[in-house]
Structure 1
Amino acid sequence: MYDDARGRRQTAGTFATEKEAVAAWHAAEAEIAKGGLGDRRRGRQTFQTYVEKKWLPHQVLEATTRQDYTYKINKHLMGFFGPMRMCDILPEHVREWITEMQRKGASAATIQKCKRGILNSIFTTALNDQVISQHPSRGVRIPPVPKKPKKAITAKQFDGLYRALPDADSRLLVETIIESGLRWGEVAELRVKDLDFATRVLTVSRTVVELNPQFHPTQGRFLVKPYPKGKEYRRFKLSPQIVRKLKAHAVTRGLGEGDLFFTYLPVDQPKPRKLRPVPVPGAHGMTTANERGKSYDHGSLTAYTTGKCRCEYCKEAYRLYRGQRRATGKDNPRSPRVRQSDGHIPADWFRKQIWTPACKTAGLDHVTPHHLRHAHASWLLAGGADLQVVKERLGHASIATTEQHLHTLPNADETALAALEKIRGPQINEAPETSELDALKAENERLRAAFADVALALRPESRPHLSTA
Structure 2
Amino acid sequence: MGYLEIRTGRNGRVTYRARYRDIHGRLQTAGTYTNEREADRAWQRAENLSGAARIGDPRRGRVKFGKYIEETWFPNHVIEASTRENYRYTLDAYILPELGDMRIGEILPNDIREWIVTLQGPDYRLNPPTIRVCKVIVDAIFTTAFNDHVTIIHPGKGVKTPPLASRPKEIITAEQFDEIYRALPNDFMRLLVETDIESGLRWGELTELRAKDLNSRTGMLTVSRAVVQLTAKDRPDNQNFVVKEYPKDREWRRFRIASHLADKLAAHITAANLGPDDLLFTMPVQRTARRNRPAVLPDPESLGRTEPNAKDRTYLHGTCSAYTAGKCRCQFCRDAMATYRAERRATNKDSPRTPRTVATDGHIGRGWFRNAIWIPTLSKVNLGFNFTPHGLRHAHASWLLNGGADLQVVKERLGHASITTTEKYLHTLPTADETALDALDAVRRPTREASPSAPNTATATELAELHELRQTLAKVRQLHEALGLKP
Q: Normalising to structure 1: TM-score of the pair?
A: 0.81
Q: Which residue of 2 aligns with 1:173?
A: 192
Q: Is the 8 A contact 1:206 1:225 kept in 2?
A: yes
Q: Where does 1:238-317 land on structure 2 (aligned, <5 Å)?
A: 238-268=257-287, 271=291, 278=298, 280=300, 298=316, 308-311=325-328
Q: Is the 8 A contact 1:94 1:136 kept in 2?
A: yes
CA distance in 1, matches of 2:268, 2:303: 58
Q: Is the 8 A contact 2:306 2:322 kept in 1?
A: no
Q: Quote how far apart the aligned CAs of 1:57 are.
A: 1.0
SS of residue in 2 equivalent to 1:36? coil
CA distance in 1, matches of 2:307, 2:442: 74
Name the amino acid aligned to 1:168.
Answer: D
Q: Quote how far apart the aligned CAs of 1:75 are.
A: 1.1
CA RMSD of aligned residues (A): 3.8
For residues 196-237 of structure 1, what are the alpha-carbon distances to aligned partners after superposition, in whole Å with 9 as ceiling and x for unaligned? 111111111111110136665432111110100110111111
Aligned residues: 432
Q: Is the 8 A contact 2:146 2:152 kept in 1?
A: yes
Which of residues 438, 450, 454 in structure 2 aligns to 1:430? 450
Unaligned runs of 5+ residues in structure 1 are: 12-17, 441-446, 459-469
In structure 2, the CA distance between the partners of 1:277 and 1:101, relative to structure 1 (3 Å rule), is farther
Name the amino acid aligned to 1:106.
Answer: L
Name the amino acid aligned to 2:362.
Answer: G
Q: Which residue of 2 aligns with 1:401?
A: 421
CA distance in 2, matches of 1:317, 1:34: 67
In structure 2, the CA distance between the partners of 1:283 and 1:428, relative to structure 1 (3 Å rule), is closer
Name the amino acid aligned to 2:92.
Answer: N
Q: Is the 8 A contact 2:306 2:326 kept in 1?
A: no
* Aligned-residue identity in percent: 45
Q: Is the 8 A contact 1:207 1:227 kept in 2?
A: yes
Q: Which residue of 2 aligns with 1:413?
A: 433
Q: Does 2:384 correspond to 1:367?
A: no
CA distance in 1, matches of 2:356, 2:382: 31
Q: Is the 8 A contact 1:205 1:227 kept in 2?
A: yes
More helix by share: 1
CA distance in 2, matches of 1:47, 1:366: 40
Q: Which residue of 2 aligns with 1:82?
A: 100
CA distance in 1, matches of 2:197, 2:53: 60
Which of residues 221, 234, 251 in structure 2 aligns to 1:232? 251
Q: Which residue of 2 aligns with 1:184?
A: 203
**Looking at both structures, which has the greater relative contact order when contacts are Cα pairs under 8 Å and sequence separation is at least 6?**
1
Q: Which residue of 2 aligns with 1:462?
A: none
Q: Does 2:375 correspond to 1:322?
A: no
Q: Is the 8 A contact 2:318 2:335 kept in 1?
A: no
Q: Quote how far apart the aligned CAs of 1:278 are.
A: 4.7
Q: Is the 8 A contact 1:127 1:134 kept in 2?
A: yes
Q: Does 2:105 correspond to 1:61?
A: no
CA distance in 1, matches of 2:445, 2:379: 42
Q: Does 2:135 correspond to 1:115?
A: yes
In structure 2, the CA distance between the partners of 1:61 and 1:10, relative to structure 1 (3 Å rule), is farther
Unaligned runs of 5+ residues in structure 2 are: 1-17, 31-36, 458-462, 464-469, 482-487
SS of residue in 1 equivalent to 2:74? helix
Name the amino acid aligned to 1:392.
Answer: E
Q: Which residue of 1 aligns with 2:11?
A: none
In structure 2, the CA distance between the partners of 1:287 and 1:422, relative to structure 1 (3 Å rule), is closer
For residues 357-416 of structure 1, what are the alpha-carbon distances to aligned partners after superposition, in whole Å with 9 as ceiling and x for unaligned? 111112234111111111111111111111111111001111111111011110001011
For residues 260-296 of structure 1, what are the alpha-carbon distances to aligned partners after superposition, in whole Å with 9 as ceiling and x for unaligned? 11100234276566999956479957996998x9x78
Q: Is the 8 A contact 1:29 1:38 kept in 2?
A: no
Q: Is the 8 A contact 1:43 1:85 kept in 2?
A: yes
CA distance in 2, matches of 1:186, 1:145: 29
SS of residue in 2 equivalent to 1:71? helix
CA distance in 2, matches of 1:163, 1:216: 38
SS of residue in 1 equivalent to 2:238? coil
Q: Quote how far apart the aligned CAs of 1:87 are.
A: 2.4
